[in-house]
Structure 1
Amino acid sequence: MKKIGFTLLLGGILSIAVWGQKKLTEGTIYYDVVINTNNDKPSAAAMMDGATNVVYLKGNSSRSDLISSLGTQSTIIDGKTGAVTILKDYGDQKYMINLTANDWKNRNKKYDNVTYTIENEFKTIATYNCQKAIGKLSDGTTFTVYFTKDLVPVNNEFQYINKNLPGLAMEYEAAQGSTKVIYTVSSIDFGAVPMSKFDLPESGYRVVPYTGENKKEE
């Protein structure tokens, strides 16, 4: 009887753990953006401080809008083909850059072999219990990320740097040259995301080939 009772208890604990996790198949994630340039001189990167990154997820499709005082840059991933479109909308300057799935993979190849050291340190972000992890790139660069196991994204392509985490990144660092960018979730909306969010503009943007300078990290 004791053995049966223990088995039932263990099964109940595992069921609670699984039940507590939510598969994130659709929703809108709002990240606050903080920029640290380590430079007292004004720069375009510094003007991104205080920006908002809004991520729309629907199945394998995603759209990420980085909204700042300079304008908006959107990254739209087609869930069926893996093709990616980058839209840059900075006032009168509107550009569209189209990438194949292979282009997108090559553009993010430095994140392919990220390894994580999970630490016993926690904090609450947007009501979720988040655990600290130290990510390490193949070139030895490290970054800090806090993630929650309560939300597990079905689509892991929208945030390539954190695609191998066992949960949703709620706060993470991303380096762009000497500039450090910190993204922190402020809220999550689990409401339905309209398919129109992933529609591409048919006019108004200058199409720029994905070659030369725009292959560099944005």
Structure 2
Amino acid sequence: MKKITFIVCALVCGIQFVYAQRLVSDLKIYYKMELPAEQAQMDAMLNNSHLVQYVRGNMSRIDMNFNVVNYIYISNARTKTMLIMIDNHGDKYMIRTNKKEFEKELEEYRKIQFVDQPEEKEIAGYKCRKAIGIMSDGSKFEVFYTVDIAPENKLYNRRFVNLKGFPLEFEIPAKNNAKIKVLATSLEIGPVPASIFDTPSGYKEISQEELKKLRG
């Protein structure tokens, strides 16, 4: 009898462990972006930049606002397609990424290895662990993630497809080998309007090759 009780207890404890991470279908996260001190002085217009991540079912959207240049990424995890929109001083361009291109880029992101570190801290009310992301070219970036929540959509941000939790602080590359810190300030779990994922109007559709020419 004692043996049976122990087994039942172990099973219950195991179930509690499995369900400790909350899977969510809809969420919105607001991040502030902190520039390195030296870059903040050179690019004063980039101060108060921010990033917003939306997730609703198979759909996800990332808005990156650098004040002078804004980017919107709308992706569909079911069809594995993405729209990229760029607003550069009012010049608006849109690039479509098809399934083949999406999966090719996804393969590169799958090569990122995340190595856990001992450091922990609380961000936006969630306990987070530190990890170092190591890319295929050997470059590295820091990330703090929580294991308390996880989107059902595993491709909400392909950069973190191998991460064991949800990122609430991370680094993205900037000019002159600098890195921008992206730090969550609020996280809302709940319905996200479907209209968030509608294709914005007023953008001229161009190819990747045309975008490269525009960038010089």
TM-score normalised over the length of structure 2: 0.86
CA distance, structure 1, for counterparts of residue 199 and residue 40 of structure 2:
38
- 1:35 is matched with which residue? 35
- 1:86 is matched with which residue? 84
Question: Is 1:97 aligned with 2:69?
Answer: no
Return 5+ residue gaps in structure 1 as ranges. Answer: none
Q: Which amino acid aligns with 2:183?
A: T
- The count of residues paired between Structure 1 and Structure 2 equals 213
- 2:25 is matched with which residue? 25
- 1:13 is matched with which residue? 13
Taking every aligned residue pair, what percent have the same amino acid on both sides?
A: 31
- Give the conservation status (yes or no) of the 8 Å contact 2:40–2:47: no
**CA deviation vs aligned residue, 1:180-211 (integer Å, no higher than 9, x gap):** 1221111111121111111113x422212122
- Give the conservation status (yes or no) of the 8 Å contact 1:37–1:179: no
- 1:66 is matched with which residue? 64
What's the CA shift for 1:9? 2.8
What's the CA shift for 1:214? 4.1
What's the CA shift for 1:37? 7.2
- Give the conservation status (yes or no) of the 8 Å contact 2:40–2:46: no
**CA deviation vs aligned residue, 1:124-151 (integer Å, no higher than 9, x gap):** 1111111111111122112211111111
Distance 1:103 1:36, change over 3 A: farther
CA distance, structure 1, for counterparts of residue 61 and residue 97 of structure 2:
14
Distance 1:104 1:211, change over 3 A: farther
**CA deviation vs aligned residue, 1:28-76 (integer Å, no higher than 9, x gap):** 1111111227557624xx6434322111111111111112322531101
CA distance, structure 2, for counterparts of residue 210 and residue 37 of structure 1:
33
CA distance, structure 2, for counterparts of residue 213 and residue 41 of structure 1:
28
Distance 1:8 1:47, change over 3 A: farther
CA distance, structure 2, for counterparts of residue 75 and residue 185 of structure 1:
18
- Give the conservation status (yes or no) of the 8 Å contact 1:75–1:87: yes
- 2:197 is matched with which residue? 198
Distance 1:100 1:48, change over 3 A: farther
- Give the conservation status (yes or no) of the 8 Å contact 1:153–1:167: no
- Give the conservation status (yes or no) of the 8 Å contact 2:83–2:94: yes
Structure 1 runs of 4+ aligned residues shifted over 6 Å read none
- 2:122 is matched with which residue? 124
Between 79-88 and 130-139, the greater mean CA deviation after superposition = 79-88
- Give the conservation status (yes or no) of the 8 Å contact 1:38–1:179: no
Aligned-residue CA RMSD (Å): 2.5
TM-score normalised over the length of structure 1: 0.85
Task: Name the structure where helix makes up a greater proportion of residues.
Answer: 2
Alignment of 1:161-180 (within 5 A): 161-177=159-175, 178-180=177-179
- Give the conservation status (yes or no) of the 8 Å contact 2:77–2:155: no
CA distance, structure 1, for counterparts of residue 40 and residue 189 of structure 2:
40
Between 94-103 and 163-172, the greater mean CA deviation after superposition = 94-103
- 1:112 is matched with which residue? 110
Q: Which amino acid aligns with 1:168?
A: F
